[in-house]
């Protein structure tokens, strides 16, 4: 169910006015391949950034296990090619791409197997690029909002598990040096938009009417005390980016069997 209002109606879970603010061009430039060339976007969520990179002369291919998701991404971004495939079984020849891009999804992948595949399809000097966009709670009113939401859902506005997944890259022999940069993005949000954003959370949407009313009242009061009408509040986001140049030495090293290893003669 959606969070209920006192007039008996509900808030649609879709955020009607929360279109992303201008994505920082500096983040796109930083994630771009060292040399212009094809980019492989892993998962539908990576398509938007891949489309931005395509505008810089880096043709993009989006892949997802779901063929429906691939079709939807290519319909929205016609410049992208689409292939339905699992990230740990990519149907591409070695050294096909100058960059592999993972947006909002690194924590969903079988890390070891996926990193092996990324290294295989990356060209020498190619980069693995990872992006997470998270709300920035360094702004006082955002910290207060997080405190309110966590009263009802302790995991609200957190991203620890997702970001922890990036540590697996640094542990891979294929990507020994991992660089990190953070960029700021601001998204205008109205009072109604903030209430819709809160109601879109699956955990919060399940609250009973008394708790739902109390939560929405607290959020509305926070907005009213923080905004300067008629201007909307600006919801800050951090665009967190990582990149690592592939090292193919593990893939090309000679295999040396131990002297006392098992030998089979035919």
The predicted-structure confidence for 8-41, as pLDDT tens digits, reads as follows 222 222 333 334 468 899 999 999 999 999 999 9
* DSSP 8-state class, residue 80: S
Phi and psi torsions of 106, nearest 5°: -60, -35
Name the β-bridge partners of 135: 237
**Given the DSSP bridges, would you call strands 233-245 and 179-189 parallel, antiparallel or unpaired?**
antiparallel
The proportion of the chain whose per-residue pLDDT surpasses 90, expressed as a percent, equals 62
Residue 250 has pLDDT above 80, yes or no: no
Residue 173 has pLDDT above 60, yes or no: yes
Cβ count near 186 (within 10 Å): 16
The proportion of the chain whose per-residue pLDDT surpasses 70, expressed as a percent, equals 84
Q: Which CATH number fits domain 25-135+158-186+234-249: 3.30.460.20, 3.30.70.100, 3.10.20.590, 3.40.50.150?
A: 3.40.50.150
pTM of the model: 0.78
- Domain boundaries, given as residue ranges, for the chain: 25-135+158-186+234-249
Q: Yes or no: say if 63 and 41 are a contact pair by the CB < 8 Å rule.
A: yes
Those residues whose C-beta lies under 8 Å from the C-beta of residue 18, and which sit 6 or more positions away, are: 187, 189, 193, 196, 197
102 — pLDDT class (breaks 50, 70, 90): very high
Token representation of residue 180: 């990190």
257 — pLDDT class (breaks 50, 70, 90): low
Select the more confidently predicted residue: 142 or 12. Answer: 142
């Amino acid at each position: 169910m959606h969070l209920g209002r006192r007039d008996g109606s509900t808030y649609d879970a879709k955020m009607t006015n929360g279109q992303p603010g201008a994505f920082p061009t500096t983040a796109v430039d930083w994630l771009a391949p060292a040399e212009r060339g094809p980019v492989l976007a892993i998962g539908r969520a990576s398509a938007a950034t891949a489309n931005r990179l395509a505008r810089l002369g880096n043709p993009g291919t989006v892949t997802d296990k779901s063929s429906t998701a691939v079709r939807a991404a290519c319909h929205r971004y016609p410049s992208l090619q689409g292939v339905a495939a699992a990230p740990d079984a990519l149907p591409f020849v070695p050294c096909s791409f100058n960059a592999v891009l993972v947006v909002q999804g690194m924590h969903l992948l079988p890390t070891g197997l996926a990193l092996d595949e990324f290294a295989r399809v990356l060209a020498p000097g190619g980069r693995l690029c990872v992006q997470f966009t998270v709300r920035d709670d360094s702004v006082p009113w955002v910290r207060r909002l997080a405190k309110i939401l966590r009263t009802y859902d302790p995991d609200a506005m957190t991203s620890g598990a997702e970001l922890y997944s990036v540590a697996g890259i640094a542990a891979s022999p294929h990507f020994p040096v991992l660089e990190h940069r953070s960029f700021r993005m601001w998204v205008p949000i109205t009072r109604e938009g903030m209430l819709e954003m809160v109601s879109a959370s699956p955990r919060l949407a399940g609250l009973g009417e008394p708790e739902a009313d109390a939560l929405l009242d607290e959020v509305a009061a926070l907005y009213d005390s923080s905004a300067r009408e008629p201007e909307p509040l600006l919801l800050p986001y951090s665009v967190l980016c990582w990149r690592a140049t592939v090292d193919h030495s593990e893939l090309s090293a000679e295999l040396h069997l131990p002297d006392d290893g098992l030998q089979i003669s035919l």
